[in-house]
Structure 1
Amino acid sequence: MKKFTAVLLAAAMAFSLTACGGNSGSTTTAGPEGQTTKEEQAKPETDTTVQTEAQTEAAGQPKEGGTLKMGMSVECMTAAAWRIRSNQETVTWGLVYEPLIKLDDAGNPVGYLAKSLEGDKENLTYTVTLRDDVYFSDGSHLDADVLLWNFENFKEKSQTSSTHFGSVDSFEKTGDYTVVIHLNEWNSQIPYSLNSVPGLMYSKKAFDENGEEWCMQNPVGTGPYVLDKWVNDDSKTFKKNENYWNKDATVYLDSVETKVIADEMSAQAALLNGDINAYFGGSTSFQNTMMKAGFERAANKMNYRIYFLIFASDVEGSPLADVKVRQAISYAIDSQSIAENVDFGITFVSKEYAVEGTPFYNDAVKGYGYDAVKAKELLKEAGYENGFTTTVYAGVDQALTSYLVAIQGYLKEVGITLNIEEQETAIWTSKGIYDIDEGMILAGHGFGANLVNQQVSNFSKRAREGVGMLKECKLHPDDLDNAIMSALQASDTAEMLKYEFQAQEMIIDDYCLGYPVVMSEAYVTMMNKDLVDAHCFANNDNFPDFTGIYFK
């Protein structure tokens, strides 16, 4: 089983996160003594690892200048900070935006754009105090008025508002650089949310002068680069932000170009020919091929992606309304074989909605190992000895297609006929995933140190009001909802994990709301050996740090 180390900051009743003006994160992959990391267990014999900072220093000084040319599989349609959602958007707009809070090497929240964050459980508040030296690329100043507007704008307009700010009642400016977040119930996850999309700052000046529609195509942030040129469905060019506020950071590259290369054969040729230096979003097959060709793999160390088979249908008379049928489907799927044979050992298996080695992983969860005999027994007990026909829905994605075909074959072996329906990404993300009345959904989404937030969004009763995976499902049991909300409102880490562990057992063992097919790192970039990733992609944050990459 693959593992990684992460230390969760105790969600105390009152705490202060101190700002760090320099760079954070590293590329080391060492695990606890006696353990191997998931990178060591996953990589093929031909794999090469990203250099550590110590190795980089030994190899010589970083080179300043040059243009990083990076391919990715899909276009990023909107640029406004509060609309970011996909992995491609996260990487692309990470050139322009920065978060209020970062995560240090141990996974603890520390201040960045924010000088401090103080929580007060008794009064249900978090107080955010900004640095006084942060400026946007348009020259405007980040102060309390701008922070207040960003918070209110995110809560009102973001697709993920319920996930991050569902417990927020209001925001209050209390000083030139201070805003208080007022909660209607305690939320231990706010520090982690401010490392995610809610913590990204957009220029209020740009919004006021140009309007919301303009902002969708024009990112204006505090980051080290600014958008220079955008050719739809083709490329984007970013140049250095001449007004970059962080004088402690070195912006090595002169410019960055991102190019949409949907076809992986074309992406492979572009890397081999030197037309691009890096590629983000490649399949496991692509990663395996490029590692064998000598390219390096830079992966985020805190954020993971789960491919979850969701039993969305609970309509009366549906076979999937029976927990024994849902359990039978889970037993019928050989995830280990999928990880090894479909994904070349790059993805890995977890029995639950968490990664082994993290604080959230519950050893008590039984899960469902591959057992076709057990699957048939459960189907017989449920009255479906002769099987049945159902449908699985998914957005168009190369990885999902491979998993769908594999799952279809496994279910056929136990008598279940599975029809596959894939929808174009734009339709799927805006409507498709929320219009399923009968059948299952195969979807992927990320989670990291804010896993409890994801449980709230996807499995609590609040999922009905948000954008979570089980939005249209009626299976939101009272005891599960209570466990998840108790974890969200916990006073400290021990209490939070107690309830989170309960939720894990209910999601998987008791109610079998879904089945974790495989997991992987959320952000993986293949790079040629001319590049050094000091702390750009291989960090603990939700976003890359483009001050941490350069040419040798």
Structure 2
Amino acid sequence: MKKKLLSTLLAVTVAASLIAGCGAGSGAASPGSDASGTGMPEETSAGTEEVSVEAKENTGEIKTGGTLKIVTGQTPSIVGYTPEITTNSHIQFLRTAYDSLLFYDEDGKLAPCLAESWESDAEELTLTFKLYEGVKFSDDTDFNAEAVKWNIEQYQAAGRTEAANVDSIECPDEKTVVIKLKEWNSASLESIGFFIYYMSPTAVENNGVEWARINSSGTGPFVLKSFEQGVSIKYEKNPLYRVAGQPYLDGIDFTIISDAATIENTLVSGEADMISYTPIDTIKNLDPTGEYVLETNSNGVGVEMTGIIPSSAQEGNPFADVKVRQAFCYAVDVDTITAALGYGYYTVTNQWAAPNAVTYNKEVAGYPYNPEKAKELLAEAGYGDGFDTTFWSPAGSSNWATAICDNLNAVGIRAKVELIDGAKNGELMTGGWDGIMFHYASVGPDLGLFMGRHLDVAGSYYASGIQHPEDCIQLLNDIRIAPDEDTKVAKELELQKKIYDEYALFGKPLYITLIAGLKYPYVQGDNFAKNHAATWTPATCWLDK
């Protein structure tokens, strides 16, 4: 019998999706709903009682019109040619004018967007998508199966990994797309379904790629009105948007500012309604006032983790010994450091997942702060007198690096902080390093996709600096070829335990980075970072003022 993952939605679910738009959920635009998400911290700063505000009760009906003003520090150079937009934080701009086949719901599960249903067949190596009918691109051309095929081919031509596993694409009719994979990989559904955004083939072919980079031609709720790199990005309502009555807003204006203090002042002065990707110092300063709503991720999808990772690949390196890596982990007081420098807003984790994610393994013990245990393990490994090493740190994280090194030095791991710029940090991430560096990772629930970029022997990031235990690589492959979701998750939980408790391979996880929107309570239905840390629902956003 074929092992199939059949995701055919009931008519009532499909109808709800058509009404609400991609991933908005039934409550996203409901009168009186709270769009602030979950995951608020218990404390905003040491010794300070939390003060928070709910998104205020609206007046009973959704108000249409107006322009949402967002200030952000994110600076894209391309806003329209989707295969060349590779930074997660720039998905906020993509989602304003473009759609993907699938989105994420509030529970972190894939849900319909441009595709009303889909079928995954591990034995036949196929993904089959059924598309909604009547969808138009903003240039009034049809979104159909051939448009999907054309867009995936553009991603392939651009060398995007999301489309690398696609062998062929067939279009039996206008609303059916059958994608044949080169090999079965459980991550392909997310890669193709969520990370590919659809442009009008006609618009791009008629106007060229240069035009497409700074213009939009998607199926999304808004159309790019103007783009001034490093200054502003402005959108206006798409009159051809597929959901009747949406978007509610007339437009969305992003103002781009690099200085965190100026971003904060722009919100406080009322020149902006919302900050996207809010700087942590701004959250610390403004959230306790009770005048704003903090929106955060609620399901662990799309979040990022910061940790510290020792090099273990080089023979003779102390960190090549698992006992030294475990001692390294026991030596760092993550709870105290994160509470002090993260102001109580960062969520501590001990593995490659947020605590609310489906791939978070509660059986992972991790390495609670225990300097005596660290000294004991160092002695067992032959380093009773300690050793010298280097901590390579970006200048902006020097306070974190210094605090961590104080802990390490106390047990005999004499780490000296070496400040580096972004270019050098990228060089070490991809080419290897000797000592310690920060570990930045997208810890989305699909470990086959995200952890594989670091764990694979030929992985893109950090792989050159670590060991690659055969049993871990085997589990990674098992995850990728898993025929169903339950099998996949079981293998992912097993890999978490092995990577961290057995090998301490990625060193010490510190915290889940807070990706948040900070807004005035009158901003409703935006769901910033809620369903996926890098996304929002601009179609259902409205202003209750």
TM-score, with normalisation over the residues of structure 1? 0.86
State the AA in 2 paired with 1:414. V
Superposition map of 1:30-109 within 5 A: 38-39=39-40, 41=42, 45-51=49-55, 56=57, 59-79=59-79, 80-109=81-110
Aligned to 2:379: 380
SS of match in other structure, 1:291: helix
Q: Distance in 2 between matches of 1:169 and 1:391?
A: 45
Q: 1:287 to 1:195 in 2, by over 3 A?
A: farther
Deviations 1:56-77 (A, max 9, x none): 45x4323222222211123112
Q: Distance in 1 between matches of 2:43 and 2:119?
A: 39
Q: CA deviation at 1:42?
A: 5.9
Deviations 1:93-152 (A, max 9, x none): 221122211223333322210122111222121111222222222223222222112222
Superposition map of 1:462-541 within 5 A: 464=458, 466-467=459-460, 469-520=461-512, 523-533=515-525, 535-540=527-532
Q: 1:370 to 1:540 in 2, by over 3 A?
A: same
- Structure 2: give runs of 5+ residues left out of the alignment: none
SS of match in other structure, 2:347: coil
The alignment status of 1:14 with 2:5, answered yes or no, reads yes
The alignment status of 1:110 with 2:111, answered yes or no, reads yes
State the AA in 2 paired with 1:549. C
Aligned to 1:261: 257
Greater shift after overlay, 384-393 or 141-150? Answer: 384-393
The alignment status of 1:178 with 2:161, answered yes or no, reads no
Aligned to 2:189: 191
Q: Distance in 2 between matches of 1:37 and 1:118?
A: 31
Aligned to 1:350: 349
Aligned to 2:239: 242
Q: Distance in 2 between matches of 1:145 and 1:14?
A: 24
Superposition map of 1:147-162 within 5 A: 147-159=148-160, 161=161
Superposition map of 1:277-356 within 5 A: 277-293=273-289, 294-302=291-299, 303=301, 304-356=303-355
Aligned to 1:230: 227
Deviations 1:331-378 (A, max 9, x none): 121111123111121111122112334331222222111112222222
SS of match in other structure, 1:504: helix
Q: Distance in 2 between matches of 1:308 and 1:29?
A: 32
Q: CA deviation at 1:273?
A: 0.8
- Which of 417, 420, 424 lines up with 2:418 in the alignment? 420
- Structure 1: give runs of 5+ residues left out of the alignment: 1-10, 31-35
State the AA in 2 paired with 1:186. W
State the AA in 1 paired with 2:67. T
Alpha-carbon contact 1:94-1:543 (below 8 Å) kept = yes
Q: CA deviation at 1:454?
A: 1.3
State the AA in 1 paired with 2:379. K
Q: 1:437 to 1:156 in 2, by over 3 A?
A: farther
Q: Distance in 2 between matches of 1:73 and 1:93?
A: 16
Q: Distance in 2 between matches of 1:47 and 1:85?
A: 37
Q: Distance in 2 between matches of 1:262 and 1:290?
A: 18
Q: 1:395 to 1:154 in 2, by over 3 A?
A: farther
State the AA in 2 paired with 1:208. E
Aligned to 2:270: 274
Alpha-carbon contact 1:17-1:111 (below 8 Å) kept = no
Q: Distance in 2 between matches of 1:445 and 1:368?
A: 19
Alpha-carbon contact 2:526-2:538 (below 8 Å) kept = no
Q: Distance in 2 between matches of 1:226 and 1:539?
A: 23
Q: Distance in 2 between matches of 1:550 and 1:354?
A: 32
Q: Distance in 1 between matches of 2:78 and 2:222?
A: 17
- Which of 153, 167, 170 lines up with 1:169 in the alignment? 167
State the AA in 2 paired with 1:73. G
State the AA in 2 paired with 1:222. T
Aligned to 1:363: 362
Q: 1:233 to 1:333 in 2, by over 3 A?
A: same
SS of match in other structure, 2:177: strand
Alpha-carbon contact 1:238-1:256 (below 8 Å) kept = yes
Q: 1:56 to 1:170 in 2, by over 3 A?
A: farther
Alpha-carbon contact 1:423-1:432 (below 8 Å) kept = no
Alpha-carbon contact 2:165-2:188 (below 8 Å) kept = no
Q: 1:220 to 1:446 in 2, by over 3 A?
A: farther
Q: Distance in 1 between matches of 2:86 and 2:51?
A: 30
- Which of 401, 407, 422 lines up with 1:410 in the alignment? 407
Deviations 1:155-185 (A, max 9, x none): 34255x1xx4454433333322322121233
SS of match in other structure, 1:421: strand
Q: CA deviation at 1:420?
A: 3.0
Percent of pairs with identical residues: 26
Q: 1:418 to 1:328 in 2, by over 3 A?
A: farther
State the AA in 1 paired with 2:410. E
Aligned to 1:141: 142
State the AA in 2 paired with 1:244. Y
Q: CA deviation at 1:307?
A: 0.7
Q: 1:513 to 1:120 in 2, by over 3 A?
A: same
State the AA in 1 paired with 2:542. Y
Q: 1:395 to 1:96 in 2, by over 3 A?
A: farther
Q: 1:326 to 1:87 in 2, by over 3 A?
A: same
Q: Distance in 2 between matches of 1:423 and 1:211?
A: 36
Alpha-carbon contact 1:391-1:421 (below 8 Å) kept = no
Q: CA deviation at 1:15?
A: 0.3
Alpha-carbon contact 1:69-1:258 (below 8 Å) kept = yes
Aligned to 1:122: 123
State the AA in 1 paired with 2:154. N
Q: CA deviation at 1:37?
A: 6.5
Q: Distance in 1 between matches of 2:34 and 2:64?
A: 26
State the AA in 2 paired with 1:184. K
TM-score, with normalisation over the residues of structure 2? 0.87
Q: Distance in 2 between matches of 1:88 and 1:542?
A: 6
SS of match in other structure, 1:344: coil
Alpha-carbon contact 2:163-2:192 (below 8 Å) kept = no
Greater shift after overlay, 41-50 or 178-187? Answer: 41-50
Q: CA RMSD in A?
A: 2.9
